[in-house]
Structures are given as C-alpha cells and as structure tokens.
Amino acid sequence: MIRWEAHACLPLHPAADFSPMDELHAAGVNYVSINVGMDMNPVPQIMSVIAAFRANIAASPERFRLVSSVAEIHEAAAAGQLAIGFDLEGAMPLLEQPEMVALYRDLGVRQIHFAYNRNNSVADGCHDEVRGLTPLGVRMVQAVNEAGLLMDCSHTGRRCSLDIMAASAMPVIFSHANPLALVEHGRNITDEQIRACAATGGVVCVSGVSAFLGTRTPTAGDMARHVAYVADLVGAQHVGIGLDISFRQDELNDNPPGDYDPTYWWPKSAGYDRAVQRMTYTPVETWQLLPDALRKVGLNETEVKGVMGDNMMRVAGIAWQRA
C-alpha cells in the first residue's frame, strides 16, 4: 500500500531539520509533499528554501528521493526511500508570469494553489472578498496544466475554486481541506466544491488540523469521520489524506523578512487566535491508525487503499505525465 501525505510543513528556513520526514517514513508514508513557500514569502526566501531542501535530499540518497513521476514513487518505496515533492501555497511567487510555473516544476514543485487565505492578482483567498478567478488566473491554470503540476484549491475562495475547476483540463485536488457540513470554518469547503472537485476526477485530501476537524485534540477517528462524509457524498475514490502537520522548530525564525503581519494572513475575524500558534495537529502516528479507523466507518479494503494513497497516485499519474 502506497501512503501519500498530500501536504506537510517544515520551517521555511535553509537550516530546517529534515528528521520529521524520517518520522513520517517510519509511520508508513511513502510520498510527502513539502511546502516550500506561501504568498507572504518573497521569492528570494523561497529559492533559498528550495536550494537547501534539495541539498538535504541529495545528501541522504539512502533516506530520500526527489521524484517527478508515479513510477519513481514506486521505485523509492522499493528502495526504502521516502519520495518527496514540493508544493507552493499561492500565486504571488509566480510574479504574475505563467512561465514561472515550469521553472518551479524543474526545481521539484509538483503541486500549487493560487491564494493563501487572501486575494492576489490571480485568485481569491478563502478569507477575503469574493471576485472569482481573474483573466491572469485563467492563464495560470493553463500553465499549471501544461507544466504537469497538480492544480490545488486549498485556501482558495469558494467561487474562485469553482472557476479554477471549470478552467482546468486536468483533475483538481484539495491537498488539505475538510467538509464545511461537519465543521463551520472559512477554510473548510462546501458540498458544491467537493462535488465539483470529484467531477474533474480529482481528490479531496482531509486535513488533520484541529480547527478544521472541530476538536482540540484530533485523532484518527476524527479524520475518518471527515473522510466518510466526503466518501458518502462523491465516492471513496475521491478522498485522500493531507494531515498538514507543521513541524515547528522553535530555534528557527522562518518569518518573511520586512513588514510581516500574521494577523492579516490568519485574521482573528475568521476564527484564528494568535495566527496559527494555537493550532494542533493529528500526530504522525495517525498514519498507522488510519486504516482501522477507516474500516470502522465502513470503507472496504480497496477504498482504504485508495484513501491512503492510491487515489492521489491516480491523479498524479494523469497530471505529472505532462512534465
């Protein structure tokens, strides 16, 4: 069984310790998408992070492999390596140039969404005014499709996400998002968004963040309840896992340089308290507990394998073949 972690966060700092990736691998994860930048991070910071993360991976070939295809994930699993790809959260690092998408792909980025909570020139964030996908955004969707990246809609405004899914020629994912019907939060997604994602052939990866699961101490059972909701709505073949664990390393300051206001990106009016400092996460060990939790909510063995990784392998196999 290939286990696919659709989104994880290390400090956005060149000195970030990679040992949490070993923890994920020990818990059974075969592929992880690591964030390398968000809308609030300037391009020099993102490039420094990508360079350092690539160097970390290259320095430990027995532990890690930076991959660009589903076949390479299988090869890494057979060799006992953790397969890794990168993701970007927001379109601002693209500098309003669709050509930047392919450049990031060549550096290891395998998925991207276009807005981190707030609006930009490409797309709407989920905690900002409603406008919809901009004309530049339509061009960016085409660039993502053509470059062979996974088109993600996490953190994106509801109307805008529907626009993106309508514009995309490839399956679209939510790498870390939960059903609004179970927990009222602006980051969670409506049944309409879930159905639209499934209609593209895509996957909704359930997040393990406490606020989005509706509990202070989230467990595998909480994850399974959210998985079951999406599976009942659109079919288990359209569900995955994106625990979204932020592996904080308090000795490292990875804040963006300059005038950075976290309350803008995580507004108190949207339900955040002291930005994301009070967020808790389902632990890494959740990966070992999830199969039984999913069986308990009624998924059969094929569906469990799909949610744990096969569903994301399917959509990546479609999108990445263009790379």
Show the domains of the chain with their CATH numbers: 4-322 (3.20.20.140)
Residue type, 286: T
| CA atoms within 13 Å, Cβ hemisphere of 151 | 31
The pLDDT value given to residue 69: 97
Amino acid at 76: A
Are the CB atoms for 224 and 294 separated by under 8 Å?
Answer: yes
Cβ atoms within 10 A of the Cβ of 100, count? 18
pLDDT at 275: 44
Which parts of the chain register pLDDT below 50? Answer: 275
Place of tokens 């909701």: 229
* SS3 category, 125: strand
User: Per DSSP, what are the bridge partners of residue 9?
Assistant: 246
Q: Please enumerate in sequence order all residues whose Cβ is within 8 A of that of 135, keeping only pairs 6 or more positions apart, or say none.
A: none
Strands 82-89 and 150-152: unpaired
Pairwise CA distance, residues 238 & 177, whole Å: 13
| β-bridge mates for residue 109, sequence order | 86
Helix (H/G/I), strand (E/B), else coil: 104 = helix
**41-86: per-residue pLDDT in tens?**
999 999 999 999 999 999 999 999 999 999 999 999 999 999 999 9
Angle, helix 158-167 to helix 135-147, in steps of 10 degrees: 50
